[in-house]
Amino acid sequence: MLSDAPTLHVHDLTVPLGGRSVVRHVALDVRPGEFVTVLGGNGSGKSTLVRAATGLLPHTSGEVRLFGTPVADFRDWHRIGYVPQRPSAASGVPATVREIVTAGRLSRRRLLRPLRHADKAAVQAALTSVDLADRAGESVAELSGGQQQRVLIARALATEPDLLVLDEPTAGVDLEHQQLLARVLAAHAARGVAIVLVAHELGPLARLIDRVVVLRDGRVTFDGTPDAEAAAFAHSHDQHHPLDPNSGGARAVVLGPGWQAGERR
Ligand SMILES: Nc1ncnc2c1ncn2[C@@H]1O[C@H](COP(=O)(O)OP(=O)(O)OP(=O)(O)O)[C@@H](O)[C@H]1O
Ligand SMILES: [Mg+2]
Per-residue exposure over 148-173, b if at least 16 CB sit within 10 Å of its own CB, e if not = bbbbbbbbbbbbbbbbbbbbbbbbeb
Examine residue 77 and state whether it is found in any structural domain, yes or no: yes
Query: Is residue 257 classed as helix, strand or coil in its secondary structure?
Result: coil
* CA pair distance 207, 153, nearest whole angstrom: 19
Examine residue 108 and state whether it is found in any structural domain, yes or no: yes
Instruction: Identify which of 44, 202, 217 to mutate to test ligand 1's pocket (most ligand atoms within 8 A of the CB).
Output: 44
If one compares 146 and 87, the residue with the highest pLDDT of the two is 146
Examine residue 238 and state whether it is found in any structural domain, yes or no: yes
* CA pair distance 8, 137, nearest whole angstrom: 35
Examine residue 157 and state whether it is found in any structural domain, yes or no: yes
Q: In angstroms, what is the span from residue 24 Cα to ligand 1's centroid?
A: 13
Query: Is residue 158 classed as helix, strand or coil in its secondary structure?
Result: helix
Sheet holding 8-17, edge to edge: 20-30, 8-17, 61-66, 69-70
Check pocket membership of 17 for ligand 1, CB cut-off 6 A: yes
Examine residue 91 and state whether it is found in any structural domain, yes or no: yes
Q: What is the pTM of this model?
A: 0.86
- The CATH number of the domain holding residue 238 is 3.40.50.300
Query: Which pLDDT value is given to residue 236?
Result: 66
Q: How far is CA 182 from the centre of its chain?
A: 12
* CA pair distance 90, 110, nearest whole angstrom: 25
What average pLDDT does the segment 62-90 reach?
Answer: 87
Query: Is residue 77 classed as helix, strand or coil in its secondary structure?
Result: helix
Check pocket membership of 47 for ligand 1, CB cut-off 6 A: yes
Residue 249 pLDDT class (50, 70, 90 cuts): very low
Examine residue 265 and state whether it is found in any structural domain, yes or no: no
The letter for the amino acid at 263 is E
What average pLDDT does the segment 7-20 reach?
Answer: 94
Examine residue 12 and state whether it is found in any structural domain, yes or no: yes
**Averaged pLDDT score across all residues of the chain:** 84
Examine residue 3 and state whether it is found in any structural domain, yes or no: no
CA of 40, nearest ligand number: 1
Q: Does residue 263 surpass a pLDDT of 60?
A: no
Q: Tell me the residue range of the domain where 167 lies.
A: 8-255
- The number of domains in the chain is 1
Q: What percent of the chain has pLDDT over 70?
A: 82
Q: In angstroms, what is the span from residue 85 Cα to ligand 2's centroid?
A: 6
CA of 51, nearest ligand number: 1
Length of the chain in terms of residues written: 265
Query: Which pLDDT value is given to residue 247?
Result: 40
